[in-house]
Structure 1
Amino acid sequence: MTPGRQSLIFDADDTLWENNVVFERVVDDFVEWLAHPTLDPVAIRTLLAEIEEANIVAHGYGSRVFLRSLADCFQRIAERPMDAAEQRRFDRFADAFSHNEVELIAGVADVLDELAARHDLYLMTKGKPDEQQRKIDVSGLAHHFRGIDIVPVKDPATYRRIVADRGLDPDRTWMIGNSPKSDVVAARAAGLRAVFVPHPNTWAHEHADLDASDPMIVRVDSFPDLLRHF
């Protein structure tokens, strides 16, 4: 590690608090509700993943886009719109995203307390601004960060813009997150260093191969392990 004070940029969903597990529970309930006579659950999930990918490109990230994908999946399979009773049942899937609480991942608050005494902490999360801001507010973690950015996508251009806007030194800036694709690969492509913090429920769309020979990618087993490196 480079000695001295570093700039640490943290991902939010599934790095600081649980997120994808909520979506997975809704998918499980949705597939069970469909109970399709010929399509098995794997086929339904495959179709849903394809629809999600298209909707992400067209509409971005967030629970509203996810619910849209579920509705599109229903219509694709049923080959008709929902009737009134089905719509009422479908509306209950949105309840999973309407609560005003988040579940912090173990050790997050204490680790951020300690790291903030030695380094400059930032938060960068992608999604709909109102949805992500609500989770940030409810988390009680905002005071740890010198800056917070909610972005529509995490690609190399986004990282370069954030670094330039905040006057950060790429050689002393680390992106820390659970998503290989957007937290590690994209950050490294922008010239930043990266820490991969694995999560068992990382979204399938965020999977990517990491370069095992890259010395500027650090892997830890859990969030508290960051204290061994920073």
Structure 2
Amino acid sequence: MSDRRDGQVLIFDADDTLWENNALFERVIDDFLEWVAHPTLDHGEIRLILNDIERANVVTHGYGSAIFLRSLADCLSRLRERPATEAERQRIEELAVALVQRRVELVPGVADTLAELGRRHRLLLLTKGDTEEQQRKIDASGLGHHFGSTHIVPEKDVAVYRHLATEQGLDLSITWMIGNSPKSDILPARSAGMNAVYIPDPYPWALERAEIDPADKLVLTLSTFPELLLHF
């Protein structure tokens, strides 16, 4: 895309696109792995077990801090071959207290970039997860006023993007999904007929990894969020 064109629709992901998220979860996981100190399994092997548990819990229970804590407790139970004790569950909650009660930390340049983009384009917000938790983060971020509408969904798949396009009356040729996740942001948006902007996260969640076709000319890959101003 060589020339900027005003009047486009820019749909933004939230976690790890507008503010830090997965890096904070990773810190908790590192502390959890140190605490568990399994006699035969190393950190990498325990992490694979946790990934499998998270994958199953996401399908059954969805996303959010509460589900993450459940996954840690389930992982401990599997490793100990017994249910986690109340004391162990309390320790897990202590490890994650900074995550659950944290303040939102914006990605550098996000606020100024959104303010500038909002003068030329229509901005929407599309995020997945627990409704109450995601709304709390949106409110704490101070970014909500930049978006014409906000949409919190349990999952981001092709059907969600198609529904959003119909509901909002979007012209797909000038609609861009902007996010850090190939699995949730880029691939389903492209399958729904939208364009996409991929801004890779330095700490990608294993469950969100997927391959993007390098030959797809309607996926723009950027290194940082403020680079959007060079293209939109």
Interval containing the TM-score (normalised by the shorter chain): over 0.9
Tell me the equivalent position of 1:66.
68
Residues 1:34 and 2:41 aligned together:
no
Tell me the equivalent position of 2:10.
8
Contact 1:6 1:172 in 2 (8 A): yes
Residues 1:161 and 2:163 aligned together:
yes
Tell me the equivalent position of 2:195.
193
Tell me the equivalent position of 2:53.
51
Which residue of the other structure, out of 215, 226, 229, is the alignment partner of 2:228?
Answer: 226
Superposition deviation, residue 80 in structure 1: 1.2
Residue identity opposite 1:122 in structure 2: L
Superposition deviation, residue 101 in structure 1: 1.5
Which residue of the other structure, out of 177, 202, 205, is the alignment partner of 1:203?
Answer: 205
Q: Equivalent residue of 1:77, what SS?
A: helix
After the TM superposition, which residues 119-134 of structure 1 pair with which residues of structure 2 at under 5 Å, given as runs? 119-134=121-136
Cα deviation per residue 1:108-134 (whole Å; 9 max; x = unaligned)? 000001000000000000000000000
Superposition deviation, residue 94 in structure 1: 3.5
Contact 1:9 1:122 in 2 (8 A): yes
Contact 2:195 2:218 in 1 (8 A): yes
CA distance in 1, matches of 2:132, 2:29: 23
Q: Equivalent residue of 1:150, what SS?
A: strand
Residue identity opposite 1:202 in structure 2: P
CA distance in 1, matches of 2:135, 2:124: 14
Residue identity opposite 2:29 in structure 1: V
Cα deviation per residue 1:167-187 (whole Å; 9 max; x = unaligned)? 111111100001111110110
Unaligned 5+ runs, structure 1: none
Aligned Cα RMSD in Å? 1.2
Superposition deviation, residue 29 in structure 1: 0.7
Contact 1:100 1:138 in 2 (8 A): no
Residue identity opposite 1:172 in structure 2: I
Contact 2:12 2:125 in 1 (8 A): yes
Cα deviation per residue 1:124-173 (whole Å; 9 max; x = unaligned)? 00000000000000000000000000011110100000111111111111
Contact 2:69 2:93 in 1 (8 A): no
Cα deviation per residue 1:43-84 (whole Å; 9 max; x = unaligned)? 100000001111111111111111111111010110112334
Contact 2:73 2:89 in 1 (8 A): no
Unaligned 5+ runs, structure 2: none
Q: Equivalent residue of 1:13, what SS?
A: coil
143-152 or 1-10, larger mean C-alpha shift: 1-10
Residue identity opposite 1:216 in structure 2: L
Superposition deviation, residue 100 in structure 1: 4.9
Residue identity opposite 1:14 in structure 2: D
Query: In the superposition, relative to structure 1, how do residues 193 and 199 fare at CA in structure 2: closer, same or farther (>3 Å)?
Result: same
Residue identity opposite 2:39 in structure 1: P
Tell me the equivalent position of 1:214.
216
Q: Equivalent residue of 1:113, what SS?
A: helix
